[in-house]
Amino acid sequence: MIKIHIVALLLISSIATFTQDENIDYREVRQDSIFIANTISILKKDPANITMVTAQNNRQEKQNLGYGYTLSSVGTGRGNAIFDYTLITYKGKLVGYQLIPRLPYDQRLANKYRGFYSRFFYIRGTDQIEPYQFNYASVAKPVNAFKTTTADKYFRYLMTPYSGTIYGGRGGYNGRLLTNRELFEKVKKNINPAAFEELLYSINPATRLLGIEYYHQKGRFILPNKASIEKRIDEIFKEMQSINTMDGCLLRTQNSRDLVAYYAANPVH
């Protein structure tokens, strides 16, 4: 009797396993694994030749960052093997990019694809894949040959468009601080005059406005060379007269000067 029960349990288990896997197309999984392996090979051998892995999708979302810089977002891949790219170009020439793979929603597939991606990408925990960033130093450096003032990793990330190009305070369904706002609140506690001025030369337009906001709140009282800083601020507003911001869950475009005046007078908490 015990043997019969054991056999029955094994049979039920095998049927359940078959039912779980019957919706997975393993031929597609194999093709995806080959695509991922080829992409990783390109990233290892020739990471500057990004067109080799983005050529399959020409529907890129482009955003003007000012001063000749453009941000392009594109998702490309096949099947369940999708990569999200954020490319930064200067007058049409590649400066750098950030690349993040997506894991499939199906946990059975996610476990398999996690193994595919782990051959190149660092995976934190079960589903947080660290982005690959090509030529990060060039994306993080200031424009107009302004001198880099600090190697602080939070400050350098704030200087990049990867920290978010939306200027404001909070947004989304849960009203969380925007990533660039959260970084700004972290770094401004220890900011010095030179580092403050570097913010005004960021590739990221939102970071430039955060720098202006700080100047209106505190900088004008403690910073030297105010005349040159205020000239730079005028240049920024002329270059980017409007910027994206969050109104609850809605993305809106508003006047840059008006937005900075609002947040300078109403600090985000």
- The pLDDT, as a whole number, for residue 54 is 61
**For the residues 18-23, what does the mean pLDDT come to?**
54
Q: What percent of the chain has pLDDT over 70?
A: 87
Q: Position of tokens 């029960």?
A: 5
CB 113 within 8 A of CB 103: yes
**For the residues 23-43, what does the mean pLDDT come to?**
92
Amino acid at the residue 213: E
| pLDDT, tens digit (0-9, with 9 covering 90-100), for 140-155 | 999 988 988 899 999 9
| pLDDT, tens digit (0-9, with 9 covering 90-100), for 166-181 | 999 998 878 899 999 9
H or E element, residue 23: none
More confident residue, 24 or 205: 205
CB 265 within 8 A of CB 212: no
Q: Model's pTM, two decimal places?
A: 0.86
83 vs 267: CA distance, rounded Å: 37
- The pLDDT, as a whole number, for residue 219 is 65
Residue 2: pLDDT over 60: no
Most confident of 11-20, 165-174, 212-221, 228-237: 228-237
CB 167 within 8 A of CB 252: no
* Torsion 41-47-51-54 (CA) sign: positive
Q: Position of tokens 């920024």?
A: 236
| pLDDT, tens digit (0-9, with 9 covering 90-100), for 77-122 | 889 999 999 999 999 899 999 999 999 999 999 999 999 999 999 9
Q: What percent of the chain has pLDDT over 90?
A: 64
Tell me the pLDDT band of 75, cut-offs 50, 70 and 90: confident
What dihedral angle (degrees, nearest 10) is formed by the CA atoms of 43, 45, 49, 55? -60
**For the residues 34-54, what does the mean pLDDT come to?**
85
Tell me the pLDDT band of 74, cut-offs 50, 70 and 90: confident
Tell me the pLDDT band of 7, cut-offs 50, 70 and 90: very low
Residue 197: pLDDT over 70: yes
245 vs 138: CA distance, rounded Å: 26
User: Within 10 A of 167 (CB to CB), how many other CB atoms are there?
Assistant: 27
More confident residue, 32 or 126: 32
- The pLDDT, as a whole number, for residue 6 is 42
More confident residue, 219 or 82: 82
Residues in a beta bridge with 244: 253
